[in-house]
């Protein structure tokens, strides 16, 4: 196999590619990270003021990657608060954004993200559309697998809506009772819906929780997308190959 073929996702080896959305296809991971920080900092500041304890802000690098990125919204709230030794009542999915519950905090973060998307739109990474079009032209099927409950709206705003055979998202998690990433359930559900063997499917992810899900699911290839120079961490969590952008997967 020559050097140029080595990097290709070839149909001889793979029948499908399963893409995460935020941070892989669309430049929205940074929007999520800053919305999480605004929401958690307001919560932590008010809590510190009430108790007289020191305010320790949400760390947009370390806390986001370790506790939140790639996970369903309520898991992100719960896992970060647990790391700070804080337990809140679960509340209900329709809790208002000001409610001091896991769902309330998650809904506040969602509101902030939607405000930014409505104002600024969604930027697509330049490598995304050419790769999706090349794969589909080669007869390789494509799925989007994201914890986001806003998947349809984001893909529509990004102009990517017609490029996937299957979508598994934050609404699918609730409807089918799936475990979120880092469990492999969402990717396995996408492979099942496509009718492909996980061993002949590729997972493409930018989150530590996401590459871990791909590795745990027994997929044929797990590709990490290192948007933040975090190659080593992605590899340590299960990425077999790490690229800086999807254009590296074009041949």
State the catalytic residues. Answer: 20, 22
Q: Which of 15, 22, 185, 189 binds Mg ion (CB under 5 A)?
A: 22
- 20 near Mg ion, rule: CB under 5 A: yes
Q: How far is the CB of 67 from Mg ion (least distance, A)?
A: 14
CB of 18 to Mg ion, least distance (A): 12
Q: Is residue 67 classed as helix, strand or coil in its secondary structure?
A: helix
Which CB, 104 or 127, lies closer to Mg ion? 127
Nearest to Mg ion of 207, 249 (CB atom): 207
Give the span between the Cα atoms of 108 and 158, in whole angstroms: 23
Contacts of 139 (CB under 8 A, 6+ apart): 11
Question: Which residues have CB under 8 Å from 57's CB, separation 6+?
Answer: 37, 40, 41, 44
- Tell me if 23 contacts Mg ion by CB under 5 A: yes
Select from 108-116, 120-128, 164-172, 205-213 the region that touches Mg ion (CB under 5 A).
205-213
- Single out the segment in contact with Mg ion by CB under 5 A; choices: 53-61, 125-133, 198-206, 242-250: 198-206
Angstrom distance (rounded) from CA 22 to CA 26: 5
Is 207 near Mg ion (CB under 5 A)?
Answer: yes
| Cβ at position 32, least distance to Mg ion in Å | 8
For residue 121, the minimal CB distance to Mg ion (Å) is 18
How many CB atoms are closer than 10 A to CB 47? 14
| Residue found under tokens 């999807």 | 246
Distant-in-sequence, close-in-space partners of 134: CB < 8 Å, separation ≥ 6: 250
Using CB under 5 A as the criterion, what x/- string covers residues 55-94 for binding Mg ion? ----------------------------------------
Does 182 contact Mg ion by CB under 5 A?
no
Q: How far apart are CA 7 and CA 52, in angstroms?
A: 55
Q: Are 111 and 229 in contact (CB under 8 A)?
A: no
CB of 92 to Mg ion, least distance (A): 27
Binding segment (CB under 5 A) for Mg ion, from list 95-103, 128-136, 176-184, 199-207: 199-207
Other residues' Cβ atoms within 10 Å of the Cβ of residue 23: 24
Q: What is the dihedral of CA 44, 45, 49, 50, to 10 degrees?
A: -40
How many chain residues interact with Mg ion (CB under 5 A)?
5
72 or 104, CB closer to Mg ion?
72
Point out which residues bind Mg ion (CB under 5 A): 20, 22-23, 206-207
């Amino acid at each position: 196999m020559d050097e140029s073929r080595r990097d290709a996702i070839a149909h001889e080896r793979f029948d499908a590619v399963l893409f995460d959305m935020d941070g892989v296809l669309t430049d929205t991971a940074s929007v999520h990270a800053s919305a999480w920080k605004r929401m958690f900092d307001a919560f932590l500041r008010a809590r510190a003021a009430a108790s007289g304890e020191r305010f320790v802000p949400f760390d947009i690098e370390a806390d986001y990657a370790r506790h939140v990125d790639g996970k369903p919204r309520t898991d992100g709230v719960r896992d970060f608060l647990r790391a700070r030794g804080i337990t809140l009542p679960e509340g209900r999915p329709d809790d208002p954004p000001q409610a001091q519950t896991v769902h309330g905090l998650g809904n506040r973060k969602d509101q902030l993200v939607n405000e930014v998307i409505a104002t600024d739109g969604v930027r697509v990474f330049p490598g995304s559309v050419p790769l999706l079009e090349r794969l589909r032209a080669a007869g390789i099927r494509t799925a989007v697998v994201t914890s986001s409950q806003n998947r349809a709206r984001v893909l529509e705003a990004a102009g990517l809506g017609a490029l996937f055979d299957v979508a598994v998202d934050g609404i699918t998690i609730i409807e089918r009772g799936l475990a979120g990433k880092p469990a492999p359930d969402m990717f396995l559900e996408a492979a099942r819906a496509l009718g492909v063997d996980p061993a002949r499917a590729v997972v493409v992810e930018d989150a530590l929780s996401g590459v871990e899900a791909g590795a745990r699911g027994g997929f044929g290839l797990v590709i990490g997308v290192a948007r933040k120079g975090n190659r080593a961490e992605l590899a340590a969590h299960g990425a077999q190959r790490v690229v800086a952008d999807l254009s590296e997967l074009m041949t």
